[in-house]
Structure 1
Amino acid sequence: MKEILDKINKLKIDLNKWGHAYYVLDNPIVDDAEYDKSLNELIKLEKEYPEFLTSDSPTQKVGGVVMEKFEKYKHKLPMLSLSNAFNKEDLLNFDDQILKEIENKNYNFFVEPKIDGLSISLIYKNGNLFKGVTRGDGVYGEDVTSNVKTIKSIPLSISDKSDYVEIRGEVFLSKNEFEKINKQRQNNDEEIFANPRNAAAGTLRQLDSSIAASRKLDAFLYYFMDREKFHTHSDSLKYLEEMDFKVNKLGKICNNIEEVYNHIQFIQEQREKLDYEIDGVVIKINDFDLYEKVGYTAKSPKWAIAFKFPAEVKETKLKNIFATVGRTGRITYNASLEPVQIAGTTVQAATLHNADFIIQRDIRIGGKVKIKKAGDIIPEVISPIEDDNYLKLEKWIEDKVCPECNSDLERVEGEVDQYCINSQCPRKIVRGLEHFVSRDAMNIEGLSIKIIEKLFENNFIKNVGDIYKLNKYKNDLIKLDKMGEKSVNNLLDSIEKSKNNSFDKLFFGLGIRHVGKKTAKTLAINFKTIDKISALTFEDLEQVNDVGPIVAKSVCDWFAIKQNNDLIEALKQEKVNMTYLGNEGTKNNDKITLKSFVITGTLSKPRNHFRDLLEEYGAKVIDTVSKKTDFLLAGKEAGSKLEKAEKLGVKILTEEEFLEMIGE
């Protein structure tokens, strides 16, 4: 069972890392196919071993996260993501699942392109645009109204003067505008966008709406949320057109899965001719009245599915293989390629993952390779092309030393990755600094990777403690290329502000291996200060919910290194907060705070309401009942979770008992 749990934890770590890069940083690091493959593997394992399913699993997550620089806005109805189909068999299974939920077989589908952009919710009050909100985490989005107002295809006022009208769709950037923006950024010596989706997301999240206006964003709208007004999706789209919204013309009513599949083929044939990117097709039941009958999972509607296009595969020459080192010292191998056009962009590099990946596929420098790039994300070398030339080439041999510091590389037992274990490796230090200042960690604005590299090269910072000494070098910083007085002042203000962060952000920022954002917060909630955590034994840590032996060992090993303890003392000297401050507005209740809850059954309000309420009191909401569960909050028709709780002796609360417990 340990092997299964380790596999699940590894998948979670990878998926969370990839999801963060995609949704938050707008800088995807793997293609859709790789992500979907790992996600489906995790779903399968969690179904087979439900005792290992946790609330923080990527399978329970809808989308990205809310960026702190924007005001949060709670969606009236969650913005759910869609489950995926990859072939005709998946579509037939989708249809079979619908038939299990409804008796009437007389229904049809609406099929339309899946626009590769950023999901948006538009809210109109009395006919006027009130809010433009991103999906965010599905429950809370980012209020980007000022930028939405710059999109010419989105009307600021509509003919429907109802008190509340919500319309959802996708903001995108045309291929033509994308090329113009990248050419301009290249001329200004700025980093170019990887693809139109990233450019659209980055533009919509600009604090300066004049930048958004200059980039000519566009939007297709496809959901009219008032399902009482119309009975079908197709009729609601006609209404959107009447109100001057841009609706995609490739949408079509299909009477059965055969027609659905034929229209998918038609849309795929049109893909290259379109001036906007699509990464698949969305299929949904056309009849609104069936939505509630067919129902929902925790993260997806059962009445809709996204058909993902297969990865585009091209051939090119592999010019070289080079290694890079990450903040933990992990070595990643990359391919330098002869330029090739794929999925709308020119590709000159691709990932090769690790040494085992290259050796097992016998990929050789100088030979031709197949590369894929699904979803317009960073490409991957799939395999070599074994022609006559290939057989004459030398086999590739893995690197033995770090590409940055020349230290010997080592492998951790049981892992495929190589590591540079030199704590003074310059690249490890720079990437560690980048992690420390990131949004989920200390959130220090103004310290981009390029600025960090510049400060490191000029000996201003050598570790995270040096960040808090930069105020002593203000005049020297101003003289650095492209810094300037205003940006330096803003940077120093952000550094000073970060000293007051809750300790969990600092703990995550330290970059302790296997300690992710959630684990850092769990430990901070349980032990409150860094001094208490540093004094814990392996056995103490292993007893904490969601902290297993791998994390426990990693934390103990980190605090066993004198250099790390010296760093903590240096941060204390700079008055960086080392205490958990809790969530803003957190309430205290000895019966609930730090206790674990599972919610099941039908309650008087949506489960998210009770989840939010519990989290306000510092409780942990999990999805699976176990011996460690403190309470089961059970509504009507509670089912198997109630039976399991009774069997394990978990305390069961009715809604009335729970409300009495919190005094409401």
Structure 2
Amino acid sequence: MTDAPADNPYVREPPTEFPPVETLDEAEAREQARLLRAAIRYHDYRYYVEADPLVGDRAYDALFSRLQDLEAAFDLDASDSPTRRVGGEPVDAFATVEHVAPMLSIDSSGEEPDVREFDERVRRRVGDQRYVCEPKFDGVSIEVVYEDGEYERAVTRGDGEVGDDVTRNVRTVSSIPQRLRGDYPDFLAVRGEVFMPREAFNAYNRERVERGDDAFANPRNATAGTIRQQDPSVTAERPLDCFFFEVLDGADFDTQGERHETLPDWGLKVNDAVERVDDIDGAIAYRDRMLDRRDDLDYEIDGVVIKVDDLAACEELGSTARAPRWAFAYKFPARSEETTVRDIAVQVGRTGRLTPVALLDPVEVGGVMVSRASLHNPDQIADLDVNVGDRVTVERAGDVIPYVDSVVEKNSEGHFQFPDHCPVCDSAVERDGPMAFCSGGLACDAQLQRAVGHYGSRSALDIEGLGEKTVQQLFDAGLLAGLPDLYELTIEDLSELEGWGETSAENLVAAVDAAREPDLADFLVAIGVPEVGPTVARDLARHFGTFETVRDASREDLQDVEGIGEVVANEIREFFDSERNQQVIAGLLEHVTPQEAETDAGSELDGLTFVFTGSLAEMTRGEAQELVERHGANATSSVSGNTDYLVAGENPGASKTEGADANDVPVLDEAEFRAFLEERGIETEAE
């Protein structure tokens, strides 16, 4: 086939603007789409395989958008179209598929004598051999199958015999062609390694940190998590790449080198660091050179693979049940606890605190791979005199939290300049001793998105369906610009979102509506008052009775509540004094009426201790805890020998039920709990 004919108008000088699709008839649209697909495949080949792009990003994007418009307007579906890379319908689970040929592992060692012993075994069996050496990529191995030149399926390595069908996800990886080029075989199964380039990984981790998500530990974890996403559109958004290095079935070659040279002719990307050497000394020297280059590569490697070049000799050597006898991996030594700072991101927390985070070349510290480490605060950065590019030592506080301990080699001048404006909302940064805070409050998107997620969380208003991904989608769609907007959501707006139907839209709107008259303690937790968790919130509710009374309480009044000291009282007062927080709360109160709490404590449950688990139908867990505490009982979070009753709703936690069994604690379901209270004269009717 001809991928990019000379007369294709979209190859050399593609337009950046097109006339409306309505000006074309169906025949013209089909021909234009055919030319666009061919041109885009060619540009992909030039960019990903030859690393020599012919057009700029703007021109390429214009071609891609035009093809999308044509396919949508004229229903021009094509299985191998480049537009299919944007994803597809989510899957509930991955099917397993048997490999065309076994995907074996490779024997390995980090010791040179073991490598020389491998060479001796080879020479004893098939005489002196040349070797092909290639980087040992630290990614996810896959089998990709093409039939009649078209992408058919992709399967993870799995156990070597069968793997997970990740066809739709792998289709989104731009460097994996949907259609082969040149004189390809009718059937081809190839093995490749999907990976996330280091620079893209660092940029992606920075985005995750700045929006409050956990960073991936290393590129391999990021790749593995991405390739097995149940929603292909999520995979499409993440920066994956792929190198191919083996033909499993469909084509015969004389040498490994010939195969390596042919794969690009079919449009399959290979690594340019592959070398052919004369003997094992050359292979060992190659490994040493790659070890020196390791930190300069834009992909993670953990060693090199040494393969007998002559494929007839490989056939004679054969394989064991788990590994070929013609290949050996010479591993690199484990990274020390020194590593390089690749970037410094500033994460904005729900309370507005700005925390600098060093994004690192992954390093194993105490048996755990670390790719990010806290720099704590601006003063710590200045004290360490740390900047991007510096070599640092990393430790784990209490063997848990990674942090940068010291700079061992300065590769930059000066130190990182902590921002004086929030990296998310551009509000001024305020200092409180060594700590820095965004002054934007709930008007800051980073704080606001996390605040919305917290608002609907189980510990707050328990709005079912308002998870992290949903909140992100609502913000991306422009349906949320503040907490009060939750109560403006409509079934019509939600039904138009990708992956939503009328039923899921109705469910979320109903769940939000059910949160219009929240328990006072739950509401105090939900709006994110600093230092106010469920226990303090219940204490405030019982003491003051109404939201307005809590909001207007002085520092002295707040300190009258048992367990609240000067520091917590100041935090609460400053929260309610914030003009931006006042605006958000005023907007919420147009939709929400926090319920008045009972302030008179009874003694009907004096001396009893309750633990709650699972979801209750007639009240929230917070309401149940507040109810028993109001009548003299204690409500704790874990079961012990001091627990009198475990109240178990739907989907109870296993650890709590097991704790109840171990400590002979009676377990009450919701009906039994309500009967227990009513026997003691405690009203349990839902308001």
Instruction: Please give the range of the TM-score, normalised by the shorter of the 2 chains.
Output: 0.3 to 0.5
Structure 1 or 2, whichever has the larger Rg, is 2
TM-score, L = length of structure 1: 0.41
TM-score, L = length of structure 2: 0.40
